[in-house]
Chain A
Amino acid sequence: MSCDDNKDARTKDRDRRRSLPVVDKSVAPAKGAAPADGGNGLWRSQRPWRSIDERDRQGAMPGAANEFPAGTMDVDDNVSRRGFMQLLSVSTAVATVGAACQKPNEKIVPFVRRPEEVTPGNPLHFATAYALEGYGSGLLVESHEGRPTKIEGNPAHPQTIGATTAIEQALILGLYDDDRAKQLRQGVTPIAWRSLLGQINANNAKLAENRGAGLRFLTAPTTSPLLLDLRRRILERFPQAKFVSYSSVADDGAVDGARMAFGKPMVPRHRLGSADVILSLDSDFLAEGPEQTRLSREFAARREPSPRMSRLYVVEPAVTVTGAMADHRLRMQGTEVGSFVAGLCSVLASRGLEKLAPLASLSHGERKWDMKWLVALAGDLERHRGSSLVIAGCRQPPAVHALAAALNAALGNVGVTVEYGAPLTPDPLSGPAPLAALAQDIAAGAVDTLVITAANPVYTAPADFKFAKLLERVPNSIYFGLNEDETAAACKVMVPAAHALETWGDVRATDGTVSIIQPLIAPLWGGIQEAELYAAFIGEGDVGANKLLRRYWQGQFKGGEFDAHWERWLADGIVPDTGVAAEGGVAVDGAALAQTVAPLLTRTKSGMEIAFVVDPKLYDGRFANNAWLQELPHPITKLTWDNAAMLSETTAKALGIETGDIVEVTYRDRHVDAPAMIVPGHVDDTVTLPLGYGRTGVGVGGVAKDVGFNAGALRTSDNPWYDRGATVAKTGRRFKFAITQDHWTMSPDGRVIPPPAVEGPIEEVLKRDSKFHEEIEVRRGPLPTIHEPVDYSKQAYKWAMSIDLNKCTGCSACVVACVSENNINVVGKENVWRGREMQWIRVDRYFSGNDDSLSMITQPLMCVHCETAPCEYVCPVNATVHSDEGLNEMVYNRCIGTRYCSNNCPYKVRRFNYLNYIADYTAVRELGMNPDVTVRTRGIMEKCTYCVQRIERKRISTRIEGRTIADGELETACQQSCPTRAIVFGSLNDASSKVSQQHADPRRYDLLHEIGTRPRTAYLARVRNPNPELHVPDAHGAGQEHGKGEHE
């Protein structure tokens, strides 16, 4: 997998199109998924054939179906590429005109109640929600003339509270993804929804004979009241039918663990707002799971440098966003965490938490961790009874979650920092276990009709199920999905799903609050909605999702006039009073628990540990076709367009491996070739493999095609996350990573001046004589200058920004938000490798300390709008100049592209369109562009504008109201998306504005202050809050060297 063959998404796209005719000859047999019985009964596919030998190749068809979304079938085999492109553009154009410009028939209601704080700068905003793992995030979607263009968080929603994750930001691109499945097809024959309904009805009759015994639904985990109601009605009609919910990244451990601890399945909900001491057991709670946005906000709120500042301990194998924020991080193999927490229990028991006494005896094997660390931690937890919190990660087995629950109970945290509630979904488990049952049924031939609405199970299912093969045994398989993906290729019927932004539906947040999902645009390619597919099995397939939804909620609604409330729900994005109260009075039976977990903790296996991890960008692979996420640098490794087998430096050295070596990872006689990468702070003797890459079936364009390797191929159902006994061997081949930072610069370097950081205890932080104080003072304050600085105080506004490094977790949501808001181009792997990435925001990250005491500071860096900008005076054509309000303006249409400004920018935050990146935009993709922002063509410099288009919009609207822009009512895209509110934007002429206060903050400093550029963006230094018992002064902290330097 050299860089050249998965070069550049667009090039690949073209090549693949060129090779289209060949593909169905060469690739198809490889797929080799000829139906065992050639398809039986009504499901036989009537594929047209044009020649004898083509008819004889019928066996190859399902494979071809994967390559050929129906509709492109009519293309003559020897069509020229140009011809094909023309056809394609015409068809997309038709889709555009046909779908986009026509509003959905059903009435959707704008977001009318605008809180003062968050008025986004654009015309119409609709509240909706996005369901992931069954839980909803409330969103506000900006819509231009019926075209959704930008996603924001819904401030009224309990989970997103106005912010978003990178993945949510990228939904827009997913909506306009030209590779989405566009045609309902049976085999390779396009058919109409109506005729499919007919077939389903006929089939229903057959199924009804034996009460639906052969009917199975494989769904994604869901909390949707509507879908669950439809499920109930389906089961009424087919009592023997079964619903299986599956997700490859399900958090089953928590539920099972709660069952062990409390006797019944429960889901923990965390409240960091009241947590003084937090222990994360391999939990990346700041960047993973349905609560991440709210948890990030609550966590950041408690990180203000004050005596109330919380303290975070993290125990994890590979550095995560959460681990990077830790005050104390202990790297530990995933399989060790169990015995670690057991050890913690016994220590705490010995410190007089009698509730833990029964657990004190738990063996925690031979200790591999630093006991001092454990004792200090225990002391801290014990001192903060009732205000501490233990969080176990979704990758940890039930036993760990059980012990975590026991700890929380014993520490009196339950009800304060954590509460346990009944699962919001009828099928609490959605991991490998339920899927295994389904697999058995299929193997036993007990399944006649299988409806798959889960996300691409063929790709995500554990390798030992051989799910693709299994599906061949199902006579009637219907796949409901967004893309022509691996599962689509293995199913008889492919139902193109409507995108989340094209859907009517509902979903619950983790606290039960219901959000109504309303479509922003009619399905671009006539996608079907999940509710409609369900309804088809109770003969209501033609009712329409909107009607089904309204009907259901009307039924639920008690008293009053429904329509008004309905519209209010849609407008607000939440249905009031639908929250589910947590269950009080949960008790742990220590003795019983000890019995249950004791066997689970004894480690039997040995050998190198293999660890799988959810990719922060592609998730389980369902976002692999999203170029924004593919090109988003990984928060820790800064890797784009690939995943890597991550190793610690020590382990890599022992194996003679260097970053960039292609290694063969073998585990239970399955193996993959993966490029290795040395990651700071990674635990020794473990190889971490991110899931979600190496997709094979990804529809027409194939942005994701051949990007990275498929770690899932090694994943088994019994140990989906951690196991021992892996081997890693060098193959001798090399691989070219496209990393956006630290290209080959390994040597510690005199010029590296990381953001100042200070070690607590807090009281000392702001002392005038502290080291920190000196560190700060040299980075701010007046400098000698020849020219008097221009006086901006007379202007109405003096725009400025501040970024609190104490809050920034490096989650990178701002980067994607910026890309989406400012129409920033994707450049592809080859160009990222060349150093031409275009994202305006670069999240720099600095490591400090060594692998055992690793700490990391992230620093979002976009144009800092220097008052004495070095870029301006070198431009020969006045293409970059200063505005009256101090913005460093880039005049695109004047730029001739000398790149002198970028050369002279000490921050290197300018980006240049080296190629005509917009050339390959499809008509549909263009729908998603922000009309307020110029689309840059080739040969032009660009950079952060402080979202000048938002400033001007707000200026206009406030001028109409005859007032000035109030502080906080104007937000930049990055600021708005930031879960931790680390970014603040406003006017320095308003002394009371948040940004003015932050610029006056004792922690404020200017980046590269000594050059005298007078940047308008100020940074607030990171403050850590270490445990005095563990704090080694100056071991790490201020003045460290660049992280990679530690790894020479």
Chain B
Amino acid sequence: MAAPHPSVSRDPLEPQPLIEGVHTDKTINDSLLAHVWRGAGKGWFALFSVALAMLGLLVIAISWTLYKGIGAWGNNIPVGWAFGIINFVWWIGIGHAGTLISAILLLFQQKWRTSINRFAEAMTLFAVICALLFPLLHTGRPWFAIYWLMPYPSTNGIWPQFKSPLTWDVFAVSTYFTISLLFWFLGLVPDLAALRDSSKSKTKRMVYGLLAMGWRGSGRHWAEYKWAYVLLAGLSTPLVLSVHTIVSFDFATSVIPGWHTTIFPPYFVAGAVFSGFAMVMTWMVPARHFLGLKHVVTMKHLENMNKIMLVTGMMVSYGYIMEHFIAWYSGDPYEYAQFFKTRWGGPMSGIFYLMVFCNVVTPQIFWFKKARTSIPVMWIASIFINVGMWCERFNIVITSLHQDFIPSKFENYSPTWVDITLFIGTIGLFSTLFLLFLKFIPAVAVTEVKELRHELAHDPTADPVGETH
């Protein structure tokens, strides 16, 4: 198992196995379910009450917005989109890491995914829930938007306009949420059965029993199950790419300098993964400590995530460079002014430079193994990256809009308390859901870890560090 292994020479990362210590299925089972059975501690309640308070803010902000209208926000003409859309894109982006880890790494048979995929998928769901708030809230008349965007035969006979990227968004995001949910639940079923069977109290047994739907680990089931799971992963992979591509179409299909860019789809997806992994990191570092998951979420996992952040960070930086290059190379005066005047020297250039620092400079420290393996460094870096990616969306949405073509309609933008409260509120919503998840559902896919342990233990040819390609 974790003891020295034939493949040492092949693997420089050997000192960081995927599972630390000697385990049996039983010990793994107990240790990974422990935090569910263990009663909620003071710390959990402290965090939870904070999260609930922030959630309260969200409720206030939403009700005020619905009562006053979008005028309660700082938006104007030309800045028709602002915090609302920034937050939408930011949250959606964060969601993507989850799907990526669980789906793409599964297809690539990256064994190290098993310890973090459950966690990441949950994050996807909650992030998408936060994101879903905004497209609805930011409309002038949400009470109509909520169903007029759907293709249903209405009395006035009019249909949605399918050339609009917003209509694409509706389908993309709702599909994304549904599929992520199914995928997550399907993976959860065997663990729910494990919970059912190891639960002490009758009620818990009942509840988890219901959720487990009578799962009995049947070989005949497993046979179909594996296919269903892999195929969902297979579908999720192009899905996650398509979702952020379509989100980027909201901007790329327009005529606004700073939006009208063909590089947006790959650049958005890279950014999404970038911010997503950062968010996983931000939550995983404390979680593995407080939930006692260090033996399954090892330094190797963290380091791998840091590597991905470095790579995607570079891709994002490339996106920035290309934008500027094309702005210069195209010779379009508006495009040029947008990047070299407005973004560099405009009234909102501060956000631009902050973005460059957080997204371009920060990840560079992950070139160094010391940084890659230092808990505090990676945690702080991950927070910087979250901030940086929010700033990136600010640059794209607001900075592009507030100075576009005709100077007589250049306008400044300043957020109102509602804008800020809404943003804080969604963080509250996210945290609330996440804390509930950590409380009631195993944060690590128990079944998969057991499977992994057996592969590592009984199959000498299996690559213990999961670097199979």
Contacts and interface: CB of A to CB of B under 8 A. Distances in A.
Q: Do chains A and B touch in the complex (CB under 8 A)?
A: yes
Interface of A: 740-745, 747, 749-753, 831, 834-836, 842, 844-845, 861, 870, 873-878, 894-900, 902-904, 906-908, 910-916, 938-941, 1008, 1011, 1042
A912 B80 contact: yes
30 contacts: A743-B412, A744-B347, A745-B403, A751-B257, A751-B405, A751-B407, A834-B414, A835-B413, A836-B76, A873-B161, A876-B149, A876-B166, A877-B160, A878-B160, A894-B148, A896-B142, A897-B70, A903-B401, A904-B254, A904-B255, A906-B405, A913-B140, A914-B71, A915-B71, A916-B69, A938-B69, A940-B140, A940-B141, A1011-B255, A1011-B405
Contacts of B78: 835, 902-903, 908
B166 A908 contact: no
Interface of B: 68-71, 74-81, 138-142, 144-145, 148-149, 156, 158-161, 163-167, 170, 250, 253-257, 333-334, 336-338, 340-341, 345, 347, 401, 403-414
B164 A873 contact: yes
Contacts of B141: 895-897, 938-940
B159 A878 contact: yes
Contact of B337 (A750, A842, A898): A750
B406 A895 contact: no
Contact of A835 (B79, B160, B338): B79
Contacts of A899: 70, 75, 80-81, 138, 140
Contact of A896 (B81, B140, B401): B140
B338 to A, nearest CB: 8
A876 B146 CA distance: 12
A747 B345 contact: yes
Contacts of B333: 750-751, 753
Taking each of A831, A894, A898, A1008, which has the highest tally of chain B beta carbons within 10 Å of its own beta carbon?
Answer: A898
A749 B165 contact: no
A842 B250 CA distance: 27
A886 B408 CA distance: 27
A896 B250 CA distance: 17
B145 A898 contact: yes
Nearest to B78: A908
Contact of B77 (A742, A906, A911, A939): A911
B335 to A, nearest CB: 9
Contacts of B163: 873
B145 A896 contact: yes
Contacts of A873: 161, 163-164, 253
A913 B139 CA distance: 11
Contacts of A861: 406, 408
B98 to A, nearest CB: 27
Contact of B254 (A750, A874, A915): A874
A898 B145 CA distance: 9
B77 A910 contact: yes
A878 B407 contact: no
A731 to B, nearest CB: 24
Do most interface residues of chain B lie in helix, strand or loop, or is the interface mixed? loop
B122 to A, nearest CB: 30
A939 B70 contact: yes
Given A894-B148, A1008-B406, 16 more contacts: A743-B410, A747-B341, A750-B340, A834-B74, A845-B408, A874-B164, A876-B167, A877-B149, A877-B160, A896-B144, A896-B148, A898-B145, A898-B166, A899-B81, A912-B80, A913-B69
Nearest to B401: A903
A1008 B340 CA distance: 21
Taking each of A743, A750, A861, A908, which has the highest tally of chain B beta carbons within 10 Å of its own beta carbon?
Answer: A908
B77 A902 contact: yes
Given A750-B341, A895-B141, A939-B140, A870 B412 contact: no
A749 B413 CA distance: 19
Contacts of A904: 254-256
B165 A874 contact: yes
Contacts of A896: 139-142, 144-145, 148-149
Nearest to B140: A897
Nearest to A897: B140
Contacts of A939: 69-70, 139-141
Contact of A915 (B68, B406, B411): B68
Contacts, number: 183
Contacts of B138: 898-899
Do most interface residues of chain A lie in helix, strand or loop, or is the interface mixed? loop
A970 B403 CA distance: 37
Contacts of B345: 747
Nearest to A910: B77
Contacts of B336: 750-751
Contacts of A742: 407-408, 410
Contacts of A878: 158-161
A2 B281 CA distance: 47
Contacts of B257: 751
A907 B71 CA distance: 22
Contacts of B403: 745, 749, 751
Taking each of B144, B145, B337, B410, which has the highest tally of chain A beta carbons within 10 Å of its own beta carbon?
Answer: B410
A741 to B, nearest CB: 4
Contacts of A906: 255-256, 404-406
A842 B410 CA distance: 13
Contacts of A911: 77
Contacts of A842: 408-409
A908 B345 CA distance: 22
A849 B193 CA distance: 80
A692 to B, nearest CB: 25
A223 to B, nearest CB: 41
A870 B254 contact: yes
Given A844-B408, A874-B254, A903 B341 contact: no
A527 B250 CA distance: 57
Taking each of A904, A907, A911, which has the highest tally of chain B beta carbons within 10 Å of its own beta carbon?
Answer: A904
Contacts of B341: 747, 749-751
B71 A894 contact: no
B161 A835 contact: no
B406 A907 contact: yes
A74 B341 CA distance: 62
Given A900-B80, A908-B77, A831 B164 contact: no
B77 A836 contact: yes
A30 to B, nearest CB: 35
B80 A902 contact: yes
A18 B68 CA distance: 21
A330 B178 CA distance: 71
Nearest to B136: A896
B151 to A, nearest CB: 11
A751 B140 contact: no
B407 A749 contact: yes
A940 B144 CA distance: 12
B4 to A, nearest CB: 60
B139 A898 contact: yes
A849 B94 CA distance: 51
Given A751-B334, A835-B412, A842-B409, A875 B139 contact: no
Taking each of B148, B255, B256, B257, which has the highest tally of chain A beta carbons within 10 Å of its own beta carbon?
Answer: B255
A903 B70 contact: no
A900 B408 contact: no
A842 B412 CA distance: 17
A22 B407 CA distance: 46
Contacts of A836: 71, 76-77
A907 B74 CA distance: 21
A752 B407 contact: yes
A1048 B67 CA distance: 43
The 8 A-B pairs at the shortest CB distance, nearest first, are namely A897-B140, A939-B140, A899-B80, A835-B411, A835-B76, A914-B71, A915-B71, A751-B337
Contacts of A900: 80-81, 164, 166, 250
Given A876-B149, A877-B161, A903-B78, A912 B410 contact: no
Contacts of B334: 751
A834 B410 contact: no
Contacts of B164: 873-876, 900
